[in-house]
Chains A and B, each alone.
Chain A
């Protein structure tokens, strides 16, 4: 009756939430041994779709078929029974349990009513070997880095004997080396006959890994194309128009040095970090995850302490570990963890935008709410934040719009030096370009931008100069002309502790 290779078929799925239609007639199917990429901008409905498969939501209309039979998925148990495993962007791991316990959580092998720890760890070891990661099964999950966490999640999915594996942006937080490793595992799983639903914003990954692509836009499936489709065509399908230029950097006049960092050191974390950022300039910081990039910028902003060195703005030294001193001098930080550190998720757009300027808007302890409202309205319009109104909770905004709010609060404070830590992580192509435009506007107005990014094309496309960090040191500096994927990667994997001076000179 149907294709025996077909694992999953979704027909005409519709799901609405109060006030929004999240999905409106989506068709999708998955075969054995294929990687089917789900592509779409943030808020297009990808997450809603996979939540239907994992049992978090039930559809209002439409059918889900598994192995040719119509099924209803009402919870995690149902989806587990059908052999569907999901790896979310935010991992579902318990930090204080061991790797083995996490893999078998709720299904620990038992002997006489007690957990059979030996067997559990032995089983876990087999699974971990299969995903090719060297983690002791009795290690605590808290101690693992993000890439290894993901491998543990995959091992957990394998332990469930999953026939369908859903991966929601698995590469967003990985370095390119780790991505390669992940791809190898995914290819192996494909060989084994597992069907994989793969969500990504990195278009180059589609050709590298995918077999077919389903594009979702505004809750509708707008097309199914082979993975070899050119990127420009994919973008056009995804955003409904073609994007002229992915990295629209407009380089302007370089002004005086606004931010100078001299010999900044925190023992054991980063060492002797010195650089300058000039007015009108975008300086990118590249490097592998764990190279100490975030730690340095947090210390520059005063969020964390440093042991030695100095941070100067327009020549005036700042007090260390003092966020307010940095802010007063005109530094702003858009942190890496947008939800955890950048936003008050349950507060409104207006409140989040007014957070930095709250003190300035206060007279005798009383906040001038009218002025705050007017300012929020102005900046939201300027940034083109797509929202129902200023009263909307930022939690319910899409990632790109959330990021605009975080940047917006610093724009309101007349920030001269804006530090962006992974500004476009988890943000779709359309919104990325808008954020790049914003960076252009800032530098054109004489501000300085310091940008950390693990997305190499972004660093190369948007920076006027690139600093590469490795093992807590600046491994080298490259001008926009010198910077290529290869030259940056060569520095990122170098060992700057010994060849310090050589590397700093670049080529």
Chain B
């Protein structure tokens, strides 16, 4: 009896010590647990099976890219090209399967081979060309992105149906991306822990010279390591595109940084020699939980970025602190400690579930009667969309609607995540301003399935049912812009066109409008058409370059006001005197320029009107009132004459 009690006590103390040890030994894991508990405490929607699977899906692409990045980082390299290579592989898959009739299976193999080939080029430049990995992969970042734009011609390619199933669920609940993530994670763990190339990564990353003098063929191994990373990038690209049902040439932009962040949060050192697949998975999950939770909590899109940065720093700091505190060194362990390690994760899971469940009890019965609406904007990096938001927000305030606004940062996959988060948190209605009309279709279908009405604003959604589209007519607007400049020049003259971001529907439609409008004026000669990505700085740069080649240009059509304003900067005193500039959107800055005479005209949409009408209709949809399938908000050519009477 006495011995029993003693034993019980001892194991109790051992348990407490084990918990302490667990937190000390796994900085990233503790950060993840803290985050999960905090999110469950703050949002009642977080801890549902649906939402947790969402988090899994949303982590999948980053995690798969990060598994690949783990290989290079462990071997003391870096790969900045994984995002671009993912986009290139997906583009190759969609392009060969849809436009060249290649069987899907072969197309998938082609895509994977593309990734491997890109990796081999990286590896060759680094191992035999002796380029620093940073530079070689930076070059590949640009080359792969460029090639995917070349192949796709700049527009997204819809995915063959059979591949889109990769974005579906198995047995109705297990999402395929999560499954692929787990499989790739196991493969990565196996490669790192058990294979010759994996063990070589640690040796090369730890001390390349010592590895070489121990007979490791370092150059050859590096070639293989980068090829392996390329393979993982290709798989990530396929999963990403399958989820969006379209291959986007601009997809996964900047994902390399997320991948690197995930690897480092997971405990790897950029100096090489350390890092594990499990750590990388935890790192990717931390990022996904954070984005998901911040969406659910309706944190302002701008603050989200701040919070994410702070959490990345904190997670790595926690790890540094724990190492200083003298926990066992994070040397990759082999053999006997496997069981103990598994135990660690089980223990972590149990603690998390218990605490999270306890905290989420706080939320029972907190459902309110206010109608909740989510608005996912393609970007907030542009005054036009900021105006849509402010129109929507003031209308929501007036009608007593609880409005959550998110910013997809022009990333179709991030938007898919946000829409998924909206759907799983059971909003009354969703307003979407798609980054890409094809890519949003899967997410919108999911919302339809959950009986949540969807209102599209500014751009439509293809292949999925939306309750209405609130938009101004881009093609019509483009025609108006062409007409305005042609008449100003008296039907004769040389003009340049600044196009929007390749691959967006607005850029395509406006360009189409310009072309149609100019048909009526054969005297107008278009001397150059170049993209400036809807961006003021790029507008300035591109226009400066074009002026070198065509100093005698008389007119400029820009696909938005931002680029027009950049072009005006480049033109200097010529703007409004010898060169007429026409912009698009009617943003406040654009209208000021019209007033000042530097911008001849702007084809004004009424963005705050778009936002307002979208919210109105969302509320109608919630109340099951009938709404029109398309609502056109008129566009207007604004010149000096009528600028004073116009309000966006």
Q: Please judge, given known A-B contacts A323-B213, A346-B206, whether A18 and B326 are in contact too, CB under 8 Å.
A: yes
Measured CA separation A19–B195 after assembly (Å): 33
Q: Please judge, given known A-B contacts A344-B202, A367-B196, A373-B334, whether A359 and B209 are in contact too, CB under 8 Å.
A: no
Contact indicator A409/B214 (Cβ below 8 Å): yes
Please tell me if A229 contacts chain B, counting CB pairs below 8 Å. no
Measured CA separation A324–B215 after assembly (Å): 5
Would you list which residues of chain B between 155 and 207 have a CB under 8 Å from chain A? 193-200, 202-203, 206-207
Give every chain B residue within 8 A of A362 (Cβ-Cβ). 195-196
Please tell me if B339 contacts chain A, counting CB pairs below 8 Å. no
Contact indicator A359/B215 (Cβ below 8 Å): yes
How far apart are A120's CB and chain B's nearest CB, in angstroms? 33
Query: Which of A327, A340, A373, A392 touches B207 (beta carbons < 8 Å)?
Result: A340
Contact indicator A359/B202 (Cβ below 8 Å): no
Give every chain A residue within 8 A of B195 (Cβ-Cβ). 362, 365-367
Give every chain A residue within 8 A of B326 (Cβ-Cβ). 17-19
Q: Please judge, given known A-B contacts A366-B195, A369-B194, whether A303 and B212 are in contact too, CB under 8 Å.
A: yes
Contact indicator A323/B209 (Cβ below 8 Å): no
Query: Which of A340, A346, A356, A396 touches B273 (beta carbons < 8 Å)?
Result: A346
Q: Please judge, given known A-B contacts A303-B212, A323-B213, A373-B334, whether A346 and B274 are in contact too, CB under 8 Å.
A: yes
Contact indicator B331/A347 (Cβ below 8 Å): yes
Interface flags for A196-236 (1: CB within 8 Å of B; 0: not) read: 00000000000000000000000000000000000000000
Give every chain B residue within 8 A of A343 (Cβ-Cβ). 207, 210
Give every chain B residue within 8 A of A359 (Cβ-Cβ). 196, 215-216
Give every chain A residue within 8 A of B215 (Cβ-Cβ). 323-324, 327, 356, 359
Q: Please judge, given known A-B contacts A340-B209, A344-B202, A373-B334, whether A358 and B216 are in contact too, CB under 8 Å.
A: yes
How many residues of chain A have a CB within 8 Å of chain B? Answer: 38
Give every chain B residue within 8 A of A323 (Cβ-Cβ). 212-213, 215
Measured CA separation A348–B202 after assembly (Å): 11
Measured CA separation A471–B575 after assembly (Å): 74
Q: Please judge, given known A-B contacts A366-B195, A373-B335, A393-B331, whether A347 and B213 are in contact too, CB under 8 Å.
A: no
Contact indicator A348/B213 (Cβ below 8 Å): no
Q: Please judge, given known A-B contacts A344-B203, A347-B206, whether A366 and B214 are in contact too, CB under 8 Å.
A: no
Contact indicator A345/B196 (Cβ below 8 Å): no
How many residues of chain B have a CB within 8 Å of chain A? Answer: 32
Give every chain A residue within 8 A of B333 (Cβ-Cβ). 348, 391
Please tell me if A350 contacts chain B, counting CB pairs below 8 Å. yes
Measured CA separation A403–B331 after assembly (Å): 20
Measured CA separation A323–B219 after assembly (Å): 13
Please tell me if B546 contacts chain A, counting CB pairs below 8 Å. no
Please tell me if A370 contacts chain B, counting CB pairs below 8 Å. yes
Measured CA separation A354–B335 after assembly (Å): 14
Contact indicator A344/B217 (Cβ below 8 Å): no
How far apart are A318's CB and chain B's nearest CB, in angstroms? 14
Give every chain A residue within 8 A of B194 (Cβ-Cβ). 366-367, 369
Please tell me if B257 contacts chain A, counting CB pairs below 8 Å. no
Contact indicator A358/B200 (Cβ below 8 Å): yes
Please tell me if A341 contacts chain B, counting CB pairs below 8 Å. yes
Q: Please judge, given known A-B contacts A367-B194, A370-B335, A373-B335, whether A355 and B210 are in contact too, CB under 8 Å.
A: yes
Please tell me if A351 contacts chain B, counting CB pairs below 8 Å. yes
Q: Please judge, given known A-B contacts A358-B199, A365-B196, A367-B199, whether A347 and B273 are in contact too, CB under 8 Å.
A: yes
Please tell me if B329 contacts chain A, counting CB pairs below 8 Å. yes
Interface core residue of B207, B214, B332 (most chain A CB under 10 Å): B214
Give every chain B residue within 8 A of A344 (Cβ-Cβ). 202-203, 206-207, 210-211, 273
State the main secondary structure of chain A at its contact with B: mixed
Measured CA separation A365–B212 after assembly (Å): 19
How far apart are B130's CB and chain A's nearest CB, in angstroms? 16
Contact indicator B331/A391 (Cβ below 8 Å): yes
Give every chain B residue within 8 A of A341 (Cβ-Cβ). 207, 209-210, 213
Contact indicator B197/A355 (Cβ below 8 Å): no
How far apart are A267's CB and chain B's nearest CB, in angstroms? 23
Measured CA separation A327–B212 after assembly (Å): 11
Give every chain A residue within 8 A of B200 (Cβ-Cβ). 358
Q: Which residue of B lies closest to A17 (CB)?
A: B326
How far apart are B582's CB and chain A's nearest CB, in angstroms? 52
Give every chain A residue within 8 A of B329 (Cβ-Cβ). 346, 393, 396
Please tell me if A342 contacts chain B, counting CB pairs below 8 Å. yes
Give every chain B residue within 8 A of A356 (Cβ-Cβ). 214-215
Give every chain A residue within 8 A of B209 (Cβ-Cβ). 340-341
Measured CA separation A303–B208 after assembly (Å): 13
Would you list which residues of chain A between 321 and 352 have a CB under 8 Å from chain B? 323-324, 327, 333, 335, 340-348, 350-351
Measured CA separation A356–B214 after assembly (Å): 5
Would you list which residues of chain A between 3 and 54 have a CB under 8 Å from chain B? 17-19
Give every chain A residue within 8 A of B325 (Cβ-Cβ). 18
Q: Please judge, given known A-B contacts A355-B210, A367-B195, whether A348 and B217 are in contact too, CB under 8 Å.
A: no
How far apart are A303's CB and chain B's nearest CB, in angstroms? 6
Measured CA separation A17–B327 after assembly (Å): 11
Measured CA separation A18–B329 after assembly (Å): 11
Contact indicator B196/A355 (Cβ below 8 Å): no
Q: Please judge, given known A-B contacts A327-B215, A340-B209, A369-B334, whether A351 and B202 are in contact too, CB under 8 Å.
A: yes
Query: Which of B196, B203, B337 touches A351 (beta carbons < 8 Å)?
Result: B203
Give every chain B residue within 8 A of A346 (Cβ-Cβ). 206, 273-274, 329, 331
Measured CA separation A238–B25 after assembly (Å): 37
How far apart are B114's CB and chain A's nearest CB, in angstroms? 23
Query: Which of B211, B274, B334 touches A355 (beta carbons < 8 Å)?
Result: B211
How far apart are A44's CB and chain B's nearest CB, in angstroms? 21
Give every chain A residue within 8 A of B207 (Cβ-Cβ). 340-341, 343-345
Q: Which residue of A lies closest to B326 (CB)?
A: A18
Give every chain A residue within 8 A of B199 (Cβ-Cβ). 351, 354, 358, 367
Measured CA separation A359–B210 after assembly (Å): 15
Q: Which residue of B lies closest to A324 (CB)?
A: B215
Measured CA separation A358–B274 after assembly (Å): 18
Give every chain B residue within 8 A of A18 (Cβ-Cβ). 325-326
How far apart are B253's CB and chain A's nearest CB, in angstroms? 34
How far apart are A403's CB and chain B's nearest CB, in angstroms? 13
Q: Which residue of B lies closest to A341 (CB)?
A: B209
How far apart are B218's CB and chain A's nearest CB, in angstroms? 10
Measured CA separation A347–B200 after assembly (Å): 12
How far apart are B340's CB and chain A's nearest CB, in angstroms? 12
Q: Which residue of B lies closest to A363 (CB)?
A: B196
Interface flags for B307-341 (1: CB within 8 Å of A; 0: not) read: 00000000000000000011001011111010000
Measured CA separation A373–B199 after assembly (Å): 14
Measured CA separation A393–B210 after assembly (Å): 15
How far apart are A402's CB and chain B's nearest CB, in angstroms? 12
How far apart are B4's CB and chain A's nearest CB, in angstroms? 32
Interface core residue of A19, A344, A366, A393 (most chain B CB under 10 Å): A344
Q: Which residue of B lies closest to A340 (CB)?
A: B209
Give every chain A residue within 8 A of B196 (Cβ-Cβ). 358-359, 362, 365-367
Measured CA separation A348–B273 after assembly (Å): 11
Would you list which residues of chain A between 351 and 384 have a CB under 8 Å from chain B? 351, 354-356, 358-359, 362, 365-367, 369-370, 373
Measured CA separation A303–B218 after assembly (Å): 12
Interface core residue of A327, A355, A396 (most chain B CB under 10 Å): A355
For the complex of A and B, list the 5 residue pairs with the smallest distance between their C-beta atoms, beginning with the closest: A18-B326, A344-B206, A362-B196, A355-B214, A327-B215
Q: Can you identify 22 A-B contacts, CB atoms within 8 angstroms? A: A18-B325, A19-B326, A335-B213, A340-B210, A341-B213, A344-B210, A346-B331, A347-B203, A347-B332, A348-B333, A351-B202, A354-B199, A355-B203, A356-B214, A358-B196, A358-B203, A365-B197, A366-B195, A369-B194, A391-B333, A391-B334, A396-B329
Given contacts A303-B213, A348-B333, A351-B202, 7 further A-B contacts (CB under 8 A): A324-B215, A344-B206, A345-B206, A346-B329, A351-B199, A358-B196, A373-B335
